């Protein structure tokens, strides 16, 4: 078994551990971070790679809670963004060492911005320069971000609970624990589904589409296709897919579509059924999916509002492992990328 697959199988327990940390030792830092953000006029969220994908879900939860936050790719934040007075910058990084983030820290200091970080590395330059540091508290994955990715979303979403009218009660923690325990029980079922369906097809192009916070899962899946299976892929919103990108559907095509529970579900069911009618190989991921849905389906357990990307990425983590195996590729090895990119320039 690859170390990557082992990291996926260990993920529910790692997420439970991360949640426990936030409830317990990490609760003070959560409150402090929420205070720094509420006291700021401008909020930036910045990250790169998988952590940037996690930022999509966190930004969606900020916006949903009525706190405007700008999500910036860390390289663009470094080179193209002026930080106005009274800003707070939320950095997301499993290692706390990615070069663009580390280089952006002096810029934050100069602008007197509050620096808040979500990271798995307490001894990193990022954590050490932060006014408040939220530790994700998971075991480091072997190479590809697995729990170090999903635990950033989990921690970021717990932070956004403080911006809601009622600060997080024990109820949300209980519900999350329950969902994560259910995921543990479903892993084997998901492995079987992924293994036995004809999704993905090795020679097809692959597009990932989703809405809202789950767009994080679409972008993260694209990165998994690239990092794990060394295969090009695309990610976009399901809404945007219908504004031109659908012109490509006559090519051999795999699509994964995440469906929301109550938002635009009927529209998306219609889209998926039309795509299957045009011979697109579609995998749908969602809670309580309707029986009229054509193509392949993976059911995910219910969980508190907006937390679903913590969980609904897992079937695609498994699918990326399957694709790597089909292509005879070792998912544990980067060919060109470093585990942590600590310098600029070149490949």
Ligand X SMILES: N[C@@H]1[C@@H](O)[C@H](O)[C@@H](COP(=O)(O)O)O[C@@H]1O
Distance separating alpha carbons of residues 149 and 169, to the nearest angstrom: 24
x/- string (CB under 6 A) for ligand X, residues 68-107? -------------------------xxx--x---------
Nearer to ligand X, 236 or 341 (CB): 341
177 lies in the site for ligand X, by CB under 6 A: no
Nearer to ligand X, 261 or 338 (CB): 338
Which residue number is nearest to ligand X in terms of Cβ? Answer: 49
Out of 145, 151, 231, 254, which residue is the one contacting ligand X (CB under 6 A)?
Answer: 145
Token pair for 174:
């209980």
Q: How far is the CB of 6 from ligand X (least distance, A)?
A: 17
Q: At what angle do helices 50-64 and 215-227 cross, to 10 degrees?
A: 180
Residue keyed to tokens 């930022």: 55
Nearer to ligand X, 98 or 284 (CB): 98
Q: How far is the CB of 126 from ligand X (least distance, A)?
A: 8
* Interacting span for ligand X (CB under 6 A) from 131-139, 273-281, 288-296, 337-345: 337-345
Nearer to ligand X, 152 or 257 (CB): 152
Q: Which parts of 266-325 interact with ligand X (CB under 6 A)?
A: none
Q: How far is the CB of 93 from ligand X (least distance, A)?
A: 3
Q: Are 303 and 179 spatial neighbours (Cβ–Cβ below 8 Å)? A: yes
* Interacting span for ligand X (CB under 6 A) from 171-179, 296-304, 312-320, 335-343: 335-343
Secondary structure string (H, E, C) spanning the chain: CCHHHHHHHHHHHHHHHHHHHHHCCCHHHHHHHHHHHHCCCEEEEEECCHHHHHHHHHHHHHHHCCCCCEEEEHHHHHHHCCCCCCEEEEEEECCCCCHHHHHHHHHHHHCCCEEEEEECCCCCHHHHCCCEEEECCCCCCCCCCCHHHHHHHHHHHHHHHHHCCCCCCHHHHHHHHHHHHHHHHHHHHHHHHHHHCCCCCCCCEEEEEECHHHHHHHHHHHHHHHHCCCCCCEEEEHHHHCCCHHHHCCCCEEEEEECCCCCCHHHHHHHHHHHHHCCCEEEEEECCCCCCCCCEEEECCCCCCCCHHHHHCHHHHHHHHHHHHHHCCCCCCCCCCCCCCCCCCCC
Q: How far is the CB of 180 from ligand X (least distance, A)?
A: 22
Q: Are 153 and 17 spatial neighbours (Cβ–Cβ below 8 Å)? A: no
Nearer to ligand X, 220 or 268 (CB): 220
Nearer to ligand X, 49 or 304 (CB): 49
* Interacting span for ligand X (CB under 6 A) from 22-30, 134-142, 296-304, 333-341: 333-341
Nearer to ligand X, 326 or 340 (CB): 340
Max CA pair span of the chain: 57
Q: How far is the CB of 284 from ligand X (least distance, A)?
A: 26
Q: How far is the CB of 295 from ligand X (least distance, A)?
A: 29
Q: Which parts of 214-233 interact with ligand X (CB under 6 A)?
A: 227
Q: Which parts of 25-54 interact with ligand X (CB under 6 A)?
A: 48-51
Nearer to ligand X, 172 or 233 (CB): 233
Q: How far is the CB of 229 from ligand X (least distance, A)?
A: 14
Out of 99, 177, 329, 341, which residue is the one contacting ligand X (CB under 6 A)?
Answer: 341
Nearer to ligand X, 95 or 281 (CB): 95
Q: Are 206 and 254 spatial neighbours (Cβ–Cβ below 8 Å)? A: yes
Q: Kindly state the number of chain residues that form the binding site for ligand X, as judged by CB under 6 A.
A: 13
Contacting residues toward ligand X, per CB under 6 A? 48-51, 93-95, 98, 145, 227, 337, 340-341
């Amino acid at each position: 078994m690859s170390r990557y697959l082992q990291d996926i199988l260990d993920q529910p327990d790692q997420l439970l551990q991360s949640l426990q940390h936030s409830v317990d030792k990490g609760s003070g830092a959560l409150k402090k971070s929420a205070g720094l953000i509420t006291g700021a006029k401008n909020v930036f969220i910045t990250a790169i790679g998988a952590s940037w994908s996690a930022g999509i879900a966190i930004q969606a939860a900020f916006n949903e809670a009525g706190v405007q936050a700008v999500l910036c790719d860390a390289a663009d934040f470094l080179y193209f963004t002026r930080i106005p007075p009274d800003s707070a910058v939320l950095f997301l990084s499993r290692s706390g060492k990615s070069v663009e983030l580390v280089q952006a820290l002096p810029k934050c200091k100069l602008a007197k911005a509050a620096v808040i970080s979500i990271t798995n590395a307490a001894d990193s330059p990022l954590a050490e320069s932060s006014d408040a540091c939220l530790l994700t508290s998971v075991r480091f994955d072997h190479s590809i971000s697995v729990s170090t990715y999903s635990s950033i979303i989990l921690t970021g979403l717990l932070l956004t609970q403080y911006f809601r009218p009622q600060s997080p009660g024990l109820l949300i923690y209980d519900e999350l624990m329950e969902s994560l325990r259910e995921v543990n029980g479903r892993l084997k079922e998901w492995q079987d589904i992924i293994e036995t369906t004809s999704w993905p097809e090795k020679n097809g192009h692959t597009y990932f589409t989703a809405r809202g916070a789950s767009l994080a899962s679409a972008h993260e899946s694209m990165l998994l296709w690239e990092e794990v299976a060394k295969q090009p892929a695309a990610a976009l919103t399901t809404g945007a897919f219908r504004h031109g990108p659908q012109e490509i559907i006559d090519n051999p095509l795999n699509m994964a579509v995440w469906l929301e529970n109550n938002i635009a579900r009927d529209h998306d069911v219609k889209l998926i059924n039309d795509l299957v009618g045009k011979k697109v190989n579609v995998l749908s991921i969602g809670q309580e999916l309707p029986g009229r849905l054509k193509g392949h389906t993976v059911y995910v357990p219910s969980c508190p509002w907006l937390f679903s990307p913590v969980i609904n990425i897992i079937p695609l983590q498994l699918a990326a492992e399957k694709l790597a195996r089909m292509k005879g590729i070792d998912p544990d090895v980067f060919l060109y990328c470093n585990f942590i990119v600590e310098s600029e320039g070149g490949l």
